[in-house]
Structure 1
Amino acid sequence: MTVTPTTQTIPTTHTTRTTRTVARRRTAAPAALAAMLITAAGLVAPPAYAQDEADSRQSAWRFHTEPDLTPPRINTVTQANGTAPGEIFLAPLPKQDAAGQPGKLIVDDRGDPVWFAPNEPGVATQDFKMQTYRGDPVLTYWEGNVVAPPGYGEGEAVIMDSSYREIARLQLGGGLQADLHDVVLTERGTALLLGYEKVARDLTPVGGPADGSVFEGVVQEVDIDSGEVLFEWRSLADVGLDESFLPLPEDPSSTWDYFHVNSVQEDGNDGLLISARNTHAVYRLDKNTGKVDWRLGGKRSDFRMGEGTTFEWAHDARRRPNGTITLFDNGAPPKDRSRAITLDVDENAGTASLAGSLERPKAALSPNMGNYQAMPGGKAFVGWGGSSGYTEYHADGSVALDAEIADGMNSYRSFRKEWTGTPTDDPEVAGVVGQDGPTGVYASWNGATEVASWRFLAGDDRGSLEPAGEVPRTGFETKLDLPADADPAYVAVEALDSDGRVLGRSPAEPVE
């Protein structure tokens, strides 16, 4: 296993100012990356904030100040009403013919980008979220190659600080690569990671070949600083092949993904809670014995499953402080919709009952992916995975926000968290001479969450610019139209917080 601390910023976020200036003059924003196809319904984009009217009809954002960034737009189906505080974290996946770039994306309730970092070509990103590391808020995500089918990852877990600087990359021990499904940081400075390993297995007991192979699910806890593996569990030691609901591959030489681990969470001081999609079950692992403590669901459930409690192909099992367990039930035909469910699990009585169920306002069956985030005050945030988009619910189950990602792009998970971002680079500015109107000056600062307003500066001398106006921030990119008779050679901007303090200033750039 390797753990590589670093203080460098991630390479996908920014290019040099010279490169961006040339791109502004000569090229349009690049086409979306498309490394794999995930089908979903087509979508309509929301209106732009600082964009031209023609651009507002597009399904990807276009920015004068950041021409190399084209994140997908968000179509808000139900406008935000009484939502929880915080930003929304997404990792849009590549999709053939989609206009938006895949990458790591933070948006506000309107779907307007707060921060975006596109993926490098040929590199996938998943499970992008905010966590806490050594008492400080950080961003974590998985980065690597998606092996599809069956749908697991070979890559690394990455940690970034609040200035979007990479501070660590994590791998599993034993020569395994980190899987895409879950990256969980603990208060002890460790990480819970998942892995898949191809293992030779006699499959004749389940109707397969004697020289068959399976993907074994691996769960590890690793020390972030040293890379030491502190705990490991492997599915073949406890979970039989006959527990799987996934049919054997038609090609006997193909590897059977009998288990498909997809989430992990600490459960008390001595346990872990994991979910396995292909056995339709949640497992509690005892860290002291290294064995399965109990099964919830599946063919060998240790609980009597009450009405409405059975789940299929599920994701994201989480224990809540009150003892209930939440998970995303993907479902399967003849069901016509997925749901986010809460189960009341009585370990003493050995029973499970349905305590709550949330469905999308417009029925949708998510064939894969998805998550359920329980929030304070009984609110809930659900990412619909393979059916694109997310929904926030009030405590009474009514919808606080419902949105979809343009072009049917999917995000494996979606989260809401309060985030403060303080990028180390400068704000961006672009002055554009209008063809039939005034010169427009555009301002942005990718990832800066504390900007309340912009002060625009203009003049003929790069070194002596004068204030030209001050306007509230209206979105990722804010525009000021200069007076019709203004013809400055250079422009710059200053980012101001809610008290009018200068947070950052862009270099002066020529008007083009």
Structure 2
Amino acid sequence: MTTTPDRTTLGRRDVLRMLAAAAAVPALASTGTAAVAAAAPRAGSRAGHTFVSRPDLSPPQVEISTPASGVEPGYLLLTPAGANQLDPEAAAPRADFQPGALIMDDLGQPVWFNRPAEGVIADMQVQRYRGKPVLTWWEGAIHVPPGFGEGQFAVVDESYERIATVRPANGLRGDMHEFVLTPRDTALVIVYAEVRADTTPVGGAANAKVLEGVVQEIDIATGDLLFEWRSLEHVAVEESFYPVPADPEEWFDYIHLNSVCEDGDALLVSARCTHAVYRIDRATGEVTWRLNGRRSDFEMGPDAPFAWQHDCRRRGDGTLTLFDNAAAAPGRGRSRALSLRVDETARSAEVVRSHESPEGLLAPNQGNTQLLGDGHFFVGWGGEPYFTEFDGQGGVLFHGKFVDSITSYRAFRSAWVGRPRDAPAAAGRSGAGVTSVYASWNGATEVASWRVLTGPDEQHLTPVLDAPRAGFETRIDVPGTAAFVGVRALDADGGVLGTSPVVAVG
């Protein structure tokens, strides 16, 4: 999964209390006929789905309050985790849902779910590597407070097979806030490095544990370090809005880098704790300008200032987008997806678009603003369990949330075609005059229907029924009693994509 409450604006207990506010669990929509249904969760019983054919998977449920209408095609990519999966003081992990990487459709049905081997997953998105679409994410452990990660980065192909693992250079461990693939098949990553105050001045804090922000560019194939930028060489601690801790054993998270993107021959870096975006000259490492913060080089227009922000990106039309958390002073009181026109000649910044959530949410941490191809914004509300798609005028086209104390560091909408190498899963349950067959295939996006096979033993199965796919797991009721069952996944043309093992009916 992914995210971590930052302590920049709220204490750990405040964040965890916010995350613990649970919502009612709805029954998700199902499709199909009387003989075919999506296996629905038990309303009000738990935060996670349960599946007969995949009892090992329990991704979290969601509630869709504004059904998708006019949205850009694609799936939702989320990395859910709950408060006690992020809290090192939690007595035990939650048992009612699993953290992980989740691809979901507009009805709230899982399409693919991947549990981490250990720790959590963050920032799953679709990118391109060697000319092909891939899924990427961060995996590791998160320190709460103040909210940074130590781990590595994964690249997987359409079959969900790992084709690359990226680690920072010089013995450092990767932070979950950023993993950007470039057209050169390199990766831009962020690292948090501890520097003691006895070697770095920090405004009078003796021997403080300063967290320095580090940006590296890594060659994915070789692991070679191509570029490195260290914040303490270019950004003074006096720019920070984060107070120096009284306890020298607490981390002084003075800058809190949380995004990096290419901007021509430069880089744009977002720093949450200085409320600023920095443009960095890649040749020299020098900061060529600061947007917002204590030392802004730009005059910020009406409602243009932001605070505790995430996810700054340069767009094709020259505008900058970011997620303005706005949490605590000097924030504006409600978080928003923000687009700014930045005039580097006149040194001015003006608001182009600003969209708040229907609830007027104030996200204390995390969050992102994704610009889709049709001008829509897809927004993950970070420390609040919501996600929204806006049209170009700010109208809400889709809005949903996790049903429990669950958040996702970022949220994306992306096209994706998944072709897993493993087999579909099947299970059978006998009933009054029928055999209920349950079929699923984790991550397969091209399944249109299921063909059910039944028989008296494992060697003698025959096809008895084709039924449309209905959700992650489809229940198909077949008249009569069968001893063994199996399923075949069919594409839209009726071609066989995969065949399950034969299983005994329980």
TM-score of the aligned structures, taking structure 2 as reference length: 0.90
The one-letter amino acid paired with 1:276 is A
Q: How does 1:84-483 map to 2 (within 5 A)?
A: 84-96=72-84, 99-121=96-118, 123-201=119-197, 207-268=203-264, 270-333=265-328, 335-434=332-431, 436=432, 438-483=434-479
Judge conservation of contact 1:65–1:428 (CA < 8 Å) in 2: yes
TM-aligned CA deviation for residue 99 of structure 1: 2.1
C-alpha distance in structure 2 between counterparts of 1:222 and 1:53, whole Å: 44
Contact 1:38 1:386 in 2 (8 A): no
Percent of aligned pairs sharing the same letter: 50
CA distance in 2, matches of 1:116, 1:190: 27
Instruction: Tell me the number of residue pairs that the alignment of Structure 1 and Structure 2 aligns.
Output: 472
Which residue number in structure 1 is paired with residue 42 of structure 2? 55
CA–CA distance in 2 between the matches of 1:451 and 1:51? 14
* Distance in structure 1 (CA, Å) of the matches to 2:227 and 2:41: 55
1:490 aligned residue: 484
Deviations 1:59-102 (A, max 9, x none): 21110000010000011111111111010000001334572210
CA contact (8 A) 1:203 1:209 kept: no
String of CA shifts for 1:452-476, please: whole Å, max 9, x gaps: 1111111113222122211111100
SS of equivalent residue, structure 2 residue 117: coil
Q: Deviations over 1:179-223 (max 9, x none)?
A: 110100011010001101111225997653232231110001010
CA distance 1:172–1:297, shift in 2 (3 Å): same
Unmatched 5+ stretches in structure 1? 1-35
Distance 1:251 1:210 in 2: 10
Superposed displacement of residue 364, structure 1: 1.0
Of Structure 1 and Structure 2, the greater strand share is in: 2
Whole-Å separation in 2 of the counterparts to 1:456 and 1:95: 41
- 8 A Cα contact 1:203 1:210, kept in partner: no
Q: 1:412 to 1:98 in 2, by over 3 A?
A: farther
Instruction: Report the 3-state secondary structure (helix = DSSP H, G, I; strand = E; otherwise coil) of the residue aligned with 1:39.
Output: helix
Letter in 1 for 2:410: R
What amino acid is the match of 1:355? V
- 1:43 equivalent in alignment to 2:23: yes
- Give, in whole Å, the separation in 1 of the partners of 2:298 and 2:42: 54
> Are the structure 2 counterparts of residues 333 and 119 from structure 1 closer, same or farther at C-alpha, using a change threshold of 3 Å?
same
Task: Compute the displacement of 1:437 (Å).
Answer: 5.8
1:56–1:212 distance in 2 versus 1, CA, 3 Å: closer
Give the deviation of 1:37 after TM superposition.
5.0
TM-score by length of 1: 0.89
Could you say what secondary structure the match of 1:145 adopts? strand
Shift of 1:250: 2.7
Matched to 1:307, the amino acid is P
Contact 2:41 2:49 in 1 (8 A): no
SS of aligned partner of 1:70:
coil
Q: Secondary structure of the equivalent of 1:331?
A: coil
How far did 1:174 drift?
A: 1.1
Q: CA RMSD in A?
A: 1.8
- Alignment partners' CA distance in 2, 1:79 and 1:180: 31
Secondary structure of 2:169 counterpart: coil
In structure 2, the partner of 1:73 is 61
Q: Is the 8 A contact 2:38 2:470 kept in 1?
A: no
Q: Deviations over 1:273-318 (max 9, x none)?
A: 1100000000111111221111101000110011111111100000
Once residues 470 and 39 of structure 1 are traced to their aligned partners in structure 2, the CA distance between those partners, rounded to angstroms, is 47
Contact 2:484–2:505 under 8 Å retained in 1: yes
Amino acid at match of 1:39: M
**Structure 1 residue 175, shift from structure 2 partner:** 0.9
Aligned residue type for 1:497? D
The aligned residue for residue 13 of structure 1 is none
In structure 2, C-alpha distance between the alignment counterparts of 1:448 and 1:510, rounded to whole Å: 24
Which whole-Å CA distance do the structure 2 matches of 1:241 and 1:310 have between them? Answer: 20
Kindly provide the amino acid, as one letter, of the partner of residue 100 in structure 1: F
Separation of aligned partners in 1, 2:104 and 2:466: 24
